[in-house]
Structure 1
Amino acid sequence: MITDNQTNFLYLPDSLPKKYTDFFHQLKQLCFKLNISFGLLPQTKDIWARDYMPIQIEQNKFVQFTYNPDYLQSKKWLRTISDVDAICNSIGVKPLKSDIKIDGGNIVRSTNKVILSDKIFIENPEIPEKQLIKAIRKILEVEQVIFIPTHPQDKIGHADGMVRFLDEKTVLINDLSREKPDFQLTFRMALHNAGLECIEIPYNPYRNRKYIQANGIYINYLQMKDSIILPIFEMNEDDLVINQFENMFSGTTIAAIKSNDIANEGGILNCITWNVFKEM
Structure 2
Amino acid sequence: MSDRATRLPAEWEPHGAVMLSWPHKDTDWAPVLDDAIDCFVEIAKAIAREETLIVVAPDVEEPRRVLDCEKLPNRILYLTVPTNDTWARDFGPITVERDGNPVICDFKFNGWGLKFPADKDNLITRAMCNAGLLRGCYSNELSFVLEGGSIESDGQGTLMTTSQCLLSPNRNGAMSRDEIEEYLKSRFGLDRVLWLDYGALEGDDTDSHIDTLARLAPNDTILYVGTDDVTDSHYDELNKMKLQLQSFVTALGQPYNLIELPLPDAVYDEDGNRLPATYANFLIMNHSILMPVYRQPQKDELAAQIIKIAFPDHQVVKIDCSVLIKQHGSLHCVTMQVPETILPI
Q: TM-score range by the shorter chain?
A: 0.7 to 0.9
- Using the size of structure 2 for normalisation, the TM-score is 0.71
- Alignment of structure 1 residues 7-18 onto 2, 5 Å: 7-15=15-23
Local SS of the residue matching 2:340: coil
Which residue number in structure 2 is paired with residue 101 of structure 1?
A: 145
- Alignment of structure 1 residues 186-201 onto 2, 5 Å: 186-195=240-249, 196-201=256-261
Distance, in Å, in 1 between the alignment partners of 2:274 and 2:122 is: 21
**Would you say the 8 A contact 1:147–1:190 is kept in 2?**
no
Shift of 1:201: 0.7
Which residue number in structure 2 is paired with residue 63 of structure 1?
A: 105
**Change beyond 3 A, Cα 1:68–1:201:** same
**Would you say the 8 A contact 1:63–1:139 is kept in 2?**
no
Which residue number in structure 1 is paired with residue 53 of structure 2?
A: 38
Shift of 1:207: 2.9
- Using the size of structure 1 for normalisation, the TM-score is 0.86
**Change beyond 3 A, Cα 1:230–1:152:** closer
Which residue number in structure 2 is paired with residue 162 of structure 1?
A: 213
**Change beyond 3 A, Cα 1:262–1:198:** same
1:35-75 residue CA offsets vs partner (Å, 9 max, x unmatched): 2221213323311011012221125212222211455446x
Amino acid at match of 1:135: Y
RMSD over equivalenced CA pairs, Å: 2.6
- Alignment of structure 1 residues 22-171 onto 2, 5 Å: 22-32=38-48, 34-41=49-56, 42=79, 43=81, 44-58=83-97, 60-73=102-115, 77-78=117-118, 81-84=121-124, 85-90=126-131, 91-93=133-135, 94-98=137-141, 99-111=143-155, 112-118=157-163, 119-122=165-168, 123-149=171-197, 151=200, 154-157=204-207, 158-167=209-218, 169-171=220-222
1:158-179 residue CA offsets vs partner (Å, 9 max, x unmatched): 1110011122522000014345
**Change beyond 3 A, Cα 1:240–1:274:** same
Distance, in Å, in 2 between the alignment partners of 1:21 and 1:40 is: 13
Shift of 1:92: 2.9
Shift of 1:109: 1.6
Distance, in Å, in 1 between the alignment partners of 2:110 and 2:284 is: 26
Larger Rg: 2
Pair 1:272-2:334 in alignment: yes
Q: How many aligned residue pairs are there?
A: 276
Distance, in Å, in 1 between the alignment partners of 2:86 and 2:317 is: 21
Shift of 1:121: 1.5
Aligned pair partner of 2:319 in 257, 260, 265: 257
Amino acid at match of 1:139: R
Which residue number in structure 2 is paired with residue 206 of structure 1?
A: 266
Aligned pair partner of 1:221 in 282, 296, 311: 282
Q: Name stretches of at least 5 consecutive residues in structure 1 with no aligned partner.
A: none
Distance, in Å, in 2 between the alignment partners of 1:251 and 1:27 is: 20
**Would you say the 8 A contact 1:57–1:141 is kept in 2?**
no
Q: Name stretches of at least 5 consecutive residues in structure 2 with no aligned partner.
A: 1-7, 57-78, 250-255
Amino acid at match of 2:128: I
Q: Which stretch of structure 1 is more off in the superposition, 61-70 or 124-133?
A: 61-70
**Would you say the 8 A contact 1:262–1:268 is kept in 2?**
yes
